[in-house]
Amino acid sequence: SQILSNSDLKKMVDTSDEWIEKRTGIKERRIASAEEATSDLGVKAALIAIERAGIDAKEIDLIICATLSPDHLCMPSTACVIAGKLGINDVMAFDISAACSGFVYMLSMAKAYIESGMKKNILLIGAEKISSVVDYTDRGTCILFGDGAGAAIIGATEDKNEAILDIHASADGRYGDLLITPGCGSKFPCSQETLDNKLNFIKMQGNDVYKIAVKTLTNDVIDILEKNNLESSQIDHFIPHQANFRIIEAVRAKLNFPIEKTVLTVAKYGNTSAASIPMAMNDAYEEGRIKRGDLMLLDTFGGGFTWASALVRFGGK
Ligand code: UT7
């Protein structure tokens, strides 16, 4: 509900509107109210997805939530909290932890569940109250992140115009320390000392992450296009993770995606981690840009490091 602008941040840390916009492309980000938790944002997105899919919430037989800012550290999962708030009381529900790659990671799980016939209507939610794990005295991170949620219903279909064609998801744990919330897990349990040292907040070596992000996001797209015998000109919508406009621009230019076919929301929402891709998809849908059968290329990268890309035909009604 609240908008945090670059001018607001200028009052909190040593930065400037010009620096933030030039280095990241971000103008503002949304911040949830103190009363709202990640699940509340997720529920709002889920209700819209259910309505647009034209199904009854009771038809949902699996709920997965991707988040790095869950309502509770250990349990219950945010997916269970969302299920309860939606009144779906007998359903398989769990969270996944893949940072910013969470939405595409869970899309690959949904594809497997649907194609195996194990599930019929799956609710995927990428939701973050990331402001709860951001240190607003650290100018290297606080300028980047924002809160938000996006959701999708993945259902069984025989129609090739609604297919999830291919997904590539991977990780390399060697880079874990470059983007990390070190504390309040089992390694450094929550204590006064952990909190005093701000280990409960996101720490990032931004420039190292930046370089690896550009390389990985680019290679990932090259791989998935080659594997599917597609040219970038055959993609209707390139929907990259919205972390930094300069990262998107480097990948876009290298792969020759026209700017008109690239979905950009980073200026108004900043980096919303697992919510970034479904929020971008939603904006493009609400602007009337995405039509049924359009070929979307999703491309994401995040802490872990994790990364993932997907070729998806939009099956929305
Ligand atoms: O979603 C998961 C993946 N995350 C990302 O993809 C984020 C990747 N990283 C980035 O987007 C960029 O690295 C940042 C936006 C975080 C930083 O931009 P950069 O161009 O890599 O800057 P830098 O870290 O190399 O810092 C350059 C200078 C430094 O000053 P000196 O040492 O040159 O005097 C920083 O101290 O900019 C300074 N700086 C700032 N100045 C004003 C760093 N942050 C700020 C700031 N305002 N907010």
Is 302 close to ligand 1, i.e. is its CB under 6 Å away?
A: yes
Residues of the chain short of pLDDT 70, as ranges, are none
Active site residue 271: yes
Q: What are phi and psi of 294, to 5 degrees?
A: -60, 145
Is 246 close to ligand 1, i.e. is its CB under 6 Å away?
A: no
pLDDT tens for 245-301 read 999 999 999 999 999 999 999 999 999 999 999 999 999 999 999 999 999 999 999
Give pLDDT, residue 162: 87
| 309 DSSP β-pair partners | 168, 299
Task: Report DSSP state, residue 262.
Answer: B
Active site residue 241: yes
Is 304 close to ligand 1, i.e. is its CB under 6 Å away?
A: no
Protein residue with least CA distance to atom 17, ligand 1: 206
Is 19 close to ligand 1, i.e. is its CB under 6 Å away?
A: yes
Q: How far apart are CA 293 and CA 285, in angstroms?
A: 13
Residue 83 burial (CB count, 10 A)? 25
Give pLDDT, residue 8: 98
pLDDT tens for 73-87 read 999 999 999 999 999
Most ligand 1 atoms within 8 A of CB, residue of 244, 249, 266, 300 to mutate: 244
Give pLDDT, residue 316: 83
Q: Which residue in this structure is represented by tokens 């899919």?
A: 53
Task: Report DSSP state, residue 48.
Answer: H
- pTM listed for this prediction: 0.97
